[in-house]
Amino acid sequence: MSEVTIILSFYLFAKLVLDFAQIYTIQTVELDKKSANLLGISDEDDTRSRRYNISKLNLSLIRNIIYVSWIYVLLSGGLLNYINSNLESVLHTQYFINLFIIIITFILIYLSMLPLSYYSTFIIESKYNFNTSSKLLFFKDTLVSVLMTLILLTILSSIFFLIVSYQNVWWILMSSTIFLFIVLSIYIYPTYISPLFNKFKNLENREIKKEIEDLSIKTSFSIENLFVMDKSKRSKHPNAYFTGFKNNRRIVFYDTLIDLLSPKEIKAVMAHEIGHYKHNHIFKSLLLSSIVIFIGMFLLSLLVNNPNYIQALNLPLNSASQLLALVFSYQIISFFIDPLFSVLSRKNEYQADNFASNHVDKNYLISSLVKLYKSNLAFLRPNKIYAIFYFSHPTVLERIENLRSNNG
């Protein structure tokens, strides 16, 4: 058995074990009456939540198997060598050979995942009355996403092909490029990318605006860019998010959230989002990500620069192979370091909750969390190890307990 097969098998095994552990937990852990009463959950609500989450996990199992199988076929199966040989017989410029290898690999994997996305949207989400998207809109979104991804792939791949020959420093240049793209996306995405998928309008509800103006004074936070996004065009899931820096910062409410919560509950959610800004969570996350990117890119460069590693992956010796080796290796390694980011994210959520409870009535934040939990059919008591890997937020019970213990 080759090293590639062993690594991919271990990676797939770890992901499947986590999914199965979560499924087992959902099937066996009983909901205590105290928690049920606190959240106003009936037996029917609990059963519905369990079935919804198990349906998503079953799809995750299939997705993981298909994705890792594709990596195996591309590498050990020799598909990339076959693609490379055919491209060399047609194209005579190494740059285009490299670029088309990357594009074809992306398209193959994306197309294999598309039926799963369709099933998730029109079977699972529709069954539980979340989906509001039409098939036409789904494929329009898919087309726009593919085109944008291809543009981004072309730019980043071209940069990599240009700098990878500088064996001792290319990882610094590539890390800097990725960091720059991340920073630019924070500025560009809200203004130029997100509007390609959703419509945004200024918050107009007078009662909500009055509550937010009061909050602005209490928190010394200038609130100008408040938007409502037409999420209901695609889904009934409610949410809100904060993005951007300084003059570009904005808080976006899903229209589904506006319909779900009262003005005072929306004020509490707003206070939570301001808490993220006041604690510099975006900047801190960006700083940590950049450190991990630079360290990870350096370590991976030691592998990618080694021809023996490329040959061990059964790849042709070219820049495209180096890039794919980099991407596949990074995905596997990042899976095992993601829990560190999840720990930080959960800590940030507690801090934002505490900030909110110091500036608004915490009972409104608690009631908003309960409504969000119930409307999203979230599962109350996830498997602890699964949560370490995948949960960026504490559970609603953990957040309520934290809020009640906070004296703000």
State phi, psi for 236 to the nearest 5 degrees: -95, 0
Residue 10, classed as helix, strand or coil, is helix
Straight-line distance from the first to the last Cα atom of the chain, in angstroms, rounded to the nearest whole number: 59
Instruction: Determine, yes or no, domain membership for 149.
Output: yes
Tell me the torsion sign for CA atoms 150, 156, 162, 165. Answer: negative
Instruction: Determine, yes or no, domain membership for 205.
Output: no
Tell me the torsion sign for CA atoms 17, 292, 166, 319. Answer: positive
Give the model confidence (pLDDT) of 55-114 as tens digits: 999 999 999 999 999 998 988 888 888 998 999 999 889 999 999 999 999 999 999 999
- Beta pairing partners, 44: none
CA distances from 216 to 276, 302, 330, 354 (A): 14, 50, 42, 17
pLDDT of residue 319: 84
Instruction: Determine, yes or no, domain membership for 204.
Output: no
Instruction: Determine, yes or no, domain membership for 206.
Output: no
| Domain count across the chain | 1
Tell me the torsion sign for CA atoms 96, 98, 101, 107. Answer: negative
Distance CA 197, CA 239 (A): 16
Parallel, antiparallel, or unpaired for β 240-243 and 226-229? unpaired
Parallel, antiparallel, or unpaired for β 240-243 and 200-202? unpaired
Task: Report DSSP letters for 19-65, one per residue.
Answer: HHHHHHHHHHPPPPHHHHHHHT--HHHHHHHHHHHHHHHHHHHHHHH
Show the tokens assigned to 273.
């989002």
- Beta pairing partners, 229: 200, 254
Instruction: Determine, yes or no, domain membership for 74.
Output: yes
Instruction: Determine, yes or no, domain membership for 330.
Output: yes
pLDDT band of residue 293 (cuts 50, 70, 90) is confident
Instruction: Determine, yes or no, domain membership for 257.
Output: no
pLDDT of residue 246: 67
In sequence order, which residues have a C-beta less than 8 Å from that of residue 47 and are 6 or more positions away? none
Q: Please indicate whether residue 408 or residue 207 has the higher confidence score (pLDDT).
A: 207
- Sole residue written with tokens 């294999």: 112
Instruction: Determine, yes or no, domain membership for 212.
Output: no
Q: What is the arithmetic mean of pLDDT over 27-32?
A: 89
Task: Check pLDDT > 90 for residue 25.
Answer: yes
Task: Report DSSP letters for 203-265, one per residue.
Answer: ---HHHHHHHHHHHHHHT-----EEEE-GGGTB----EEEE--GGG-EEEEEHHHHHHS-HHH
Residue 206, classed as helix, strand or coil, is helix
Question: What is the domain range of residue 337?
Answer: 3-197+279-405
Give the model confidence (pLDDT) of 198-219 as tens digits: 898 988 888 988 898 899 889 8
